[in-house]
Amino acid sequence: MLVCAKCKKEMQCIKTGMNVRFNENGSHVYRGDLFECKSCGTTIAHTIKTSTFDEDPERHAEPYDIWMDRHTKKVGKLSMQ
C-alpha cells in the first residue's frame, strides 16, 4: 500500500505498466505503475528495482512514460506528436 505523506490517505493506481526512463536518451527503462492521491493530486511512479535496456527509446516510447536525466535531475513527460 502506498500512502500520501501529506494527506495520510491511500494512493490509487491510475496507470499500470508505465515506464520511467533514465539516461540522456531514455535507454534505461524501469517498468512500474503510476499512483495518485485523490485528495491532493500528488502522483508517484512505483517501479521495479532492475532496469532493462531499450535500444530504440524514441520508437518504443509510450504517452505515460516519464523521462528523467540522472545528471541534471530533470523530470518530464514525453510529448507525443
Which cell is 77 given? 513527460
Which residues, including other chains, have CB under 8 Å from residue 65's CB and lie 6 or more apart? 18, 19, 20, 21, 26, 77, 78
Which residue, among 61, 32, 64, has the nearest Cα to 48 in the 3D structure? 32
Q: Which helix (H) or strand (E) holds 81?
A: none
User: For residue 38, what pLDDT is reported?
Assistant: 95
pLDDT tens digits, residue range 43-61?
999 998 888 888 888 788 7
pLDDT tens digits, residue range 25-42?
778 888 999 999 999 999
